[in-house]
Amino acid sequence: MIIHQPEIVPAGSEVRMQARVETRAPNPGFPDSIWFSYPQAYAHALSTRADSPLAALVLVAMALGEDVECRGEASPRLIYNLSEYQRVFYHWQPQLLQKVGIHAENLTPPPANQFSAGYATTFSGGVNSFFTIQQMLTPSLKSPQWPLKYALFLQGSPDLPLAYQRKFEYLAERYATLAQELNLEWIPVRTNLMRFAANRIPFNLLLEAPLVGAALGISPILAGMVIPSGRMYERYKDAAAGPMTTYLVATESFEVITHGGAFTRFAKTQAISDWKPAQNNLRVCLDWHDDTDMNCCYCSKCLRTRMDLNVIGRLEKFTTLKSPFKFKDLILWGSQMEIGFRGEKDYLEYAWKQRKELLPGILLGILVGTPLRLARKYSPNWIKKSVFCVTDENDPENTFVQNPDIPENLAE
């Protein structure tokens, strides 16, 4: 794979960093160039270094089994780190990925950051994002080590595919107001990276690549980024955007930190459950068709989040989720949940200590839902597809259809 010298080009109301990508063998559906688009106001911040497209595409090169040749300036530290990065992913997915060589003509450390450089976090509106922002902005909890200045909202990640433009515009506007309230600079970014990865790499491996690629594209104004961890320390395996791999995608002047790996999702939900910005804006849904504030409330992530909040006793405070949590919801939740993934233990422990009246309901949900879940797990693939297909099967960016077993692995 050849990643050509990145260039900066205008693209409608945005400004785009793009690099031509050539592969040895033809690949159907492969775009000619990888791009990241930013608002015009950040034109001065764009980098023409190869660090961004390289970090974004390394897993794609591994899936193709092609060495990478970088024509732009690349960070020596990043090149070293990416070989370690490859070792982790290869260890996880030896059937799917190969270790590849990375060669750069021009190995140059990036210049020191601008005076105004700050840290960015990625924000999708979900539990992990709100938890990280809350922990970093709340005065008593504030992390002076990584003062947050920016929030990146990305379209073109598994979290919000490029095809859903109206949803992106709607959310970008809504979250811009929120960012203003939180005193963060808001940067919506779009990328076509998923088109390179579609049908080649499971989405749970490709969670940090678009985020880090987007941040490295404006590395002159960033000292680093904080990625809300989608995984816990003890459950890091086979998924990116967890505590294991993110820190490796660093250069001499840009570091990546994962935040929140020590907390269960239930603990995170509890932490943000009384926080107004989360109560008014939480978005956990797997459905992108609807251009409203509401989550669908019935996909696996919606059900899990509603159940969390129901147990905590805060569901009615969340304006983007339906309440109350009815008997039907309880059965649906039971049929979706994975026993042994700690969720049920958290609920039972919490209810035992604080809300004993909920115990029969939780047990009933588990007892009635589990046979339904097992039936779904062991049913033929065509049934799984119809159950799990959360978006258009013809959409080439949709990797979910290829991975019907693990919708819960989505980072949000």
Q: How far apart are CA 160 and CA 113, in angstroms?
A: 30
- Which residue carries 């880090």 as its tokens? 212
Chain centroid to Cα 373, Å, comes to 26
Closest separation in Å from C-beta 404 to Zn ion: 16
Q: How far apart are CA 333 and CA 364, in angstroms?
A: 11
Pairing verdict, β 33-39 and 148-155 = unpaired
Q: How far apart are CA 48 and CA 4, in angstroms?
A: 11
In angstroms and rounded to an integer, the radius of gyration of the C-alpha atoms of the chain is: 21
Closest separation in Å from C-beta 284 to Zn ion: 7
Q: How far apart are CA 198 and CA 298, in angstroms?
A: 26
Closest separation in Å from C-beta 78 to Zn ion: 36
List interacting residues with Zn ion (CB under 5 A).
285, 295-296, 299, 302
What's at 409, amino acid-wise?
N
Closest separation in Å from C-beta 346 to Zn ion: 20
The candidate with the shortest Cα–Cα distance to 210, out of 48, 36, 8, 410, is 36
Question: Three-state DSSP class for 314?
Answer: coil
What's at 225, amino acid-wise?
M
Closest separation in Å from C-beta 295 to Zn ion: 5
Closest separation in Å from C-beta 390 to Zn ion: 8
